[in-house]
């Protein structure tokens, strides 16, 4: 039995779900805990977290993880969504959380957030042979997913979260009719290019999920019946029900909205913008009814975890190359993050190949770099703290057949310097490295250090690069699939070693990030 804590750091709320996963892969939810620090408040206006928001986030995560560990939950899977991935200093928050709690937070892309929501909803209802359109209204973003019982077919992550549009349009004048008109116009502008693709794919039912829609469902049921909603999952409401609550919210000030039966006081200012977004989607897509799901990203995270750790995964075919085979054996035995490791290796080789005219290295050094990239995080098996040093120790003391002692020493050192301190003469791990290889280490270590930063979120946001060299600088133009603020923040902090190795400044061109994705 595995005791797993799932942590969801959202723009409005932070949730923790405590679960037990049985050997037969069934699970039991033992507890759910929530706090509402509203990390996204003002963040979408300023572009960064305030010191107070960072302090609140750290404190909530520290409290939650202490509670989980006191109850015997040693494994924690943590994700963060739009506020963290968009804030220019989102990296500061997640680094502080890791430093204070030891918890490593994955910052999920809009596409990954949508996929996890789809997984959660799919397990809460029978899709049958239909296509289902899912809408999740969060604090920072709105995820739209159309999918069937086997896979998502099309997704979009739209910047229409309730905190975001409330801060931008209603915070200063919450009862202003002009402000509401500007908000509605902004919602229409964001939805207009996104919705036609969903109409083209086609769907038979609309399903709403998230805390915003769940609270709206409670209010709607109480308005209609005078009684609490007996079951949230699969509850159904009409567009007229939604419009009636929207009218009620419009007619009352945020302070008086607390008088509305069923309304969560912490959502008094957010439920109106969330309701406007939902109503507009339904009107534009000519949808008359909404079905509510009580499952979303946290449940999707649980199902995804179970799927990724399922016993009996088909063994991969043997790798003919003995050196590569032994590297892969070591990586797998250390439970490496394969997706991240191989993506970093791909970026490493792109950067190595495109700077070959500068560093003058060949296939042997290229191979060392690739293997160091594949192995660079295996130290996590020992401990997340100082994992780069643990990585060095594991590689150096492993039986990597097919490599010389000097090659193993080089690969271990390149992997070791993917983070933290730069190489220094007094570092003990350098005493066994041939002096003639120090320049090679600086270049290879610098490449790995930079490319690891370019996959800081572990979701392959940076897909490729194009390098242009001058005697003074190396210009790196990045191609991205999503918001890349976190990757750029990390890379700008990790470029010094490569700049030293190539003897020129490193300049990163800001990546682009479209808001809509095909699944």
pLDDT at 517: 42
Is position 463 within any domain? Answer: yes
How many structural domains is the chain composed of? 3
Q: Are 8 and 139 within one domain?
A: no
pLDDT at 54: 94
Asked if 245 and 216 count as a contact pair (C-beta separation under 8 A), the reply is: yes
Q: Are 257 and 366 within one domain?
A: no
Q: Are 78 and 127 within one domain?
A: no
Structure tokens that stand for 99 in this block = 């430093």
Structure tokens that stand for 146 in this block = 């159309």
Give the up-direction half-sphere exposure of residue 321: CA atoms within 13 A in the CB hemisphere: 7
Asked if 308 and 90 count as a contact pair (C-beta separation under 8 A), the reply is: no
Q: How far apart are CA 385 and CA 13, in angstroms?
A: 27
- Structural domain including 504 reads 322-517
Q: How far apart are CA 432 and CA 416, in angstroms?
A: 14
Is position 309 within any domain? Answer: no
Asked if 187 and 280 count as a contact pair (C-beta separation under 8 A), the reply is: yes
Taking only the tens of pLDDT, the chain with its 519 residues reads: 678 999 999 999 999 999 988 766 778 999 999 999 999 988 998 999 999 999 999 999 999 999 999 999 988 999 999 999 999 999 999 999 999 999 999 999 999 999 999 999 998 888 989 999 999 999 999 999 999 999 999 999 999 999 999 999 998 887 788 999 999 999 999 999 999 999 999 999 999 999 999 999 999 999 999 999 999 999 999 999 999 999 999 999 888 999 999 999 999 999 999 999 999 999 999 999 999 999 999 999 999 988 887 643 233 344 567 788 789 889 999 999 999 999 999 999 999 999 999 999 999 999 999 999 999 999 999 999 999 999 999 999 998 888 988 999 999 999 999 999 999 988 999 988 888 899 999 999 999 999 999 999 999 999 999 999 999 999 999 999 888 999 999 999 999 999 999 999 999 997 555 444 443
Q: Are 259 and 190 within one domain?
A: yes
Domain of residue 435, CATH code: 1.10.3210.10
Q: Are 272 and 284 within one domain?
A: yes
Q: How far apart are CA 245 and CA 214, in angstroms?
A: 13
Asked if 294 and 209 count as a contact pair (C-beta separation under 8 A), the reply is: yes
Q: Are 232 and 281 within one domain?
A: yes
Where among 246, 275, 294 does a domain terminate? 294
| Strands, E assignment, 276-379 | 289-292
Give the up-direction half-sphere exposure of residue 357: CA atoms within 13 A in the CB hemisphere: 7
Taking Cα atoms as reference points, which of 64, 63, 65, 51 lies closest to residue 93? 51
Domain of residue 69, CATH code: 3.30.420.40
Report the length, in residues, of the chain.
Answer: 519
Q: Are 271 and 146 within one domain?
A: yes
Is position 87 within any domain? Answer: yes
Is position 136 within any domain? Answer: yes
Is position 300 within any domain? Answer: no
Residue whose token pair is 């490569």: 498
Crossing angle of the two packed helices 51-70 and 90-101, in degrees rounded to 10: 30
Asked if 297 and 116 count as a contact pair (C-beta separation under 8 A), the reply is: yes
Q: Are 32 and 19 within one domain?
A: yes
Is position 148 within any domain? Answer: yes
SS3 of 437-453 = HHHHHHHHHHHHHHHHH
Is position 303 within any domain? Answer: no
Q: Are 90 and 194 within one domain?
A: no
Q: Are 465 and 504 within one domain?
A: yes
Where among 89, 107, 125 does a domain terminate? 107
DSSP conformation letters of 40-107: TTTHHHHSS--HHHHHHHHHHHHHHHHHHHHTT--EEEEEE-HHHHHSTTHHHHHHHHHHHH-PPEEE
Is position 312 within any domain? Answer: no
Q: Are 100 and 121 within one domain?
A: no
The predicted model scores a pTM of 0.72
pLDDT at 512: 57
Where among 59, 82, 107 does a domain terminate? 107
Who's near 135: CB < 8 A, 6+ residues apart? 142, 143, 144, 206, 207, 208, 209, 213, 278, 281
| Strands, E assignment, 355-510 | 462-469, 473-480, 505-509
Q: Are 216 and 200 within one domain?
A: yes
């Amino acid at each position: 039995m595995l005791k797993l804590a799932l942590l969801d750091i959202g723009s409005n709320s932070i949730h923790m779900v405590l679960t037990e996963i049985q050997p037969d892969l069934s699970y039991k939810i033992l507890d759910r805990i929530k706090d509402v620090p509203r990390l996204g408040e003002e963040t979408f206006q300023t572009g960064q977290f305030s010191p107070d928001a960072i302090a609140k986030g750290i404190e909530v995560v520290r409290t939650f993880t202490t509670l989980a560990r006191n109850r015997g939950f040693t494994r924690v899977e943590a994700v963060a969504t739009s506020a963290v991935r968009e804030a220019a200093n989102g990296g500061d928050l997640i680094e502080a959380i890791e430093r204070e709690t030891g918890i490593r937070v994955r910052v999920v892309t809009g596409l990954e957030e949508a996929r996890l929501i789809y997984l959660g909803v799919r397990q809460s209802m029978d899709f049958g042979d239909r296509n289902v359109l899912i809408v999740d209204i969060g604090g920072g973003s709105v995820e739209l997913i159309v999918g069937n019982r086997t896979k998502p077919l099309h997704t979009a992550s739209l910047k229409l979260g309730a905190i975001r549009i409330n801060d931008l349009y209603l915070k200063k004048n919450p009862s202003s009719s002009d402000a509401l008109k500007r908000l509605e116009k902004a919602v229409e502008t964001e939805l207009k290019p996104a919705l036609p693709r969903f109409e083209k794919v086609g769907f038979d039912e609309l399903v709403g999920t998230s805390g915003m829609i769940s609270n709206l469902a409670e209010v709607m049921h109480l308005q209609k019946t005078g009684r609490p909603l007996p079951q949230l999952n699969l509850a159904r409401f009409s567009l007229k029900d939604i419009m009636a609550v929207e009218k009620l919210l419009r007619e009352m000030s945020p302070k008086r909205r607390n008088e509305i039966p069923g309304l969560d006081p912490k959502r008094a200012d957010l439920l109106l913008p969330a309701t406007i977004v939902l109503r507009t989607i339904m009107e534009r897509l000519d949808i008359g009814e909404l079905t509510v799901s009580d499952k979303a990203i946290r449940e999707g995270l649980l199902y995804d975890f179970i799927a990724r750790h399922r016993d009996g995964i088909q063994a991969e075919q043997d790798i003919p190359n003995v050196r590569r085979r032994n590297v892969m054996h070591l990586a797998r035995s250390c439970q490496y993050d394969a997706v991240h490791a191989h993506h970093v290796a791909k970026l490493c080789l792109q950067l190595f190949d495109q700077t070959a005219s500068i560093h003058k290295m060949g296939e042997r050094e290229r191979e060392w770099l690739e293997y160091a990239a594949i192995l660079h995080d295996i130290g996590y098996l020992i401990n997340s703290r100082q994992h780069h040093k643990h990585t060095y120790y594991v590689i150096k003391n492993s039986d990597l057949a097919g490599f010389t002692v000097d090659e193993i020493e080089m690969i271990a050192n390149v992997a070791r310097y993917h983070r933290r301190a730069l190489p220094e003469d007094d570092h003990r791990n350098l005493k066994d490295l041939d002096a003639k290889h120090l320049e090679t280490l600086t270049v290879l270590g610098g490449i790995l250090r930079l490319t690891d930063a370019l996959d800081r979120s572990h979701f392959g946001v940076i897909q490729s690069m194009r390098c242009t060299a001058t005697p003074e600088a190396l210009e790196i133009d990045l191609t991205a699939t999503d918001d890349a603020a976190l990757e750029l923040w990390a890379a700008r902090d990790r470029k010094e070693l490569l700049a030293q190795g190539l003897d020129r400044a490193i300049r990163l061109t800001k990546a682009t990030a479209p808001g809509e994705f095909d699944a």
